[in-house]
Amino acid sequence: MALTICTRFTDEYQLFEELGKGAFSVVRRCVKISSGQEYAAKIINTKKLSARGFGWSYPLLESVGIERPSSFRSAVRKSSRSPEAGERGQDLPSLETPEYWVTGGELFEDIVAREYYSEADASHCIQQILESVHHCHVNGIVHRDLKPENLLLASKMKGAAVKLADFGLAIEVQGDQQAWFGFAGTPGYLSPEVLRKDPYGKPVDMWACGVILYILLVGYPPFWDEDQHRLYQQIKAGAYDFPSPEWDTVTPEAKDLINKMLTINPSKRITAAEALKHPWICQRSTVASMMHRQETVECLKKFNARRKLKVNNKTNLASSPKDTGPAPALVPMTTTPPPARHHPS
């Protein structure tokens, strides 16, 4: 397992008033003692999670990037505002037990700092994400808010494991249960079934993985529009494509996996277990291209900069009959890709 640095949250941060509240979490203003910098800390009530039947087990927590010794029942969650340089993407935990955070920052920020990044690297990244998603799904957990901001690295060491963060919108499902659990997620990563207000379940996470994989390969999202209504129309229609020239150097196998993830009908969408058996994942060394993708890195730099720029103009989409207050603020897409064209489901 990748190195995880542990410390007590209240040794370095002072907590103040409540800013918002969700079903399992509360957001409070906090100040870093050493610098005086203000942040918003999302605090998860792990006792409430257990009481609601989520049953967080240690293997699950380890798999999705929530590090703790077996004698504790603490869960880390990502700050809703990134700390200063050098601490970007640290997780802020429940305060009822000893707390920990992961220190590697965001995966997407790490990629643009690399000297070499290939399709094979993208395959390795999405494999780790899929492994965590699969573990969640096996344990009956649907994340509902997979996006770049919630993909963190366990440490700053080279090759550190990718971890999922921010389970504030997670829900529990029974098997392949499909139901209306409320409108929740981030605009560019929402699935067609959520936008249609249809019953949904685990497949929503796989749709988001498809969006993430698309970005990992070319540096911009498959669905984008300044107007949110038009963005949602694109998503519901599956209106994405693989335009030239940037997609010309991407292997057919990579495109095939994206197509299987971005399938409009959730019952036909690939599962995490199936995706992990896809040739582009399990035969990466012989299938995925090793060519350095400089254009992707350049586009990712712009993508990262623009989504960070929008952090103070967040759109709160999450609502649920079970919610007791404001849910986490969600970041809209801001990167401009080539015009999307309809792609069949």
Higher model confidence: residue 114 or residue 273?
A: 273
102 falls within a domain: no
Shared-domain flag, residues 155 and 256: yes
Shared-domain flag, residues 118 and 81: no
CATH code for the domain of 155: 1.10.510.10
Please list the active-site residues. 145
15 falls within a domain: yes
The separation between the first and the last C-alpha atoms of the chain, rounded to the nearest angstrom, is 38
Neighbours of 199 (CB within 10 A): 12
Shared-domain flag, residues 85 and 128: no
Shared-domain flag, residues 130 and 22: no
Shared-domain flag, residues 121 and 89: no
Average pLDDT, the chain: 74
| Range of weakest confidence among 2-16, 82-96, 121-135 | 82-96
Shared-domain flag, residues 158 and 41: no
4 falls within a domain: no
pLDDT digits (tens, 9 = 90+) for 244-283: 999 999 999 999 999 999 999 999 999 999 999 999 999 9
Shared-domain flag, residues 199 and 177: yes
Shared-domain flag, residues 233 and 264: yes
- 52's tokens: 């609601």
344 falls within a domain: no
- 300's tokens: 């990712």
- Which CA distances in Å does 128 have to 65, 157, 165, 291, 329? 11, 16, 13, 21, 26
Judged against a pLDDT cut of 90, whether residue 290 lies above it is answered with: yes
Judged against a pLDDT cut of 80, whether residue 334 lies above it is answered with: no
Shared-domain flag, residues 156 and 211: yes
CATH code for the domain of 61: 3.30.200.20
Shared-domain flag, residues 155 and 181: yes
227 falls within a domain: yes
Given a contact cutoff of 8 angstroms between Cβ atoms, the answer to whether 106 and 149 are in contact is: yes
Cβ neighbourhood burial of 274 (10 Å; 0-12, 13-18, 19+): middle
Residue 209: band (very low, low, confident or very high) from pLDDT cuts 50, 70, 90 = very high
336 falls within a domain: no
Q: Which residue has the tokens 């590090």?
A: 67
* Final residue in a domain of this structure, among 61, 93, 125: 93
Shared-domain flag, residues 72 and 114: no
Q: Where does 156-200 have alpha helices with state H?
A: 192-195
Residue 104: band (very low, low, confident or very high) from pLDDT cuts 50, 70, 90 = confident
Shared-domain flag, residues 22 and 116: no
Domain count, the chain: 2
* pTM of full prediction above 0.75: no
pLDDT for the residue 128: 94
pLDDT digits (tens, 9 = 90+) for 29-60: 777 888 887 666 666 665 555 554 444 332 23
2 falls within a domain: no
Nearest to residue 75, comparing CAs of 63, 83, 84? 63
Judged against a pLDDT cut of 80, whether residue 314 lies above it is answered with: no
* Final residue in a domain of this structure, among 65, 93, 121: 93
Annotated binding residues for ATP, as ranges?
42
State the residue range of the domain holding 305. 107-312
186 falls within a domain: yes
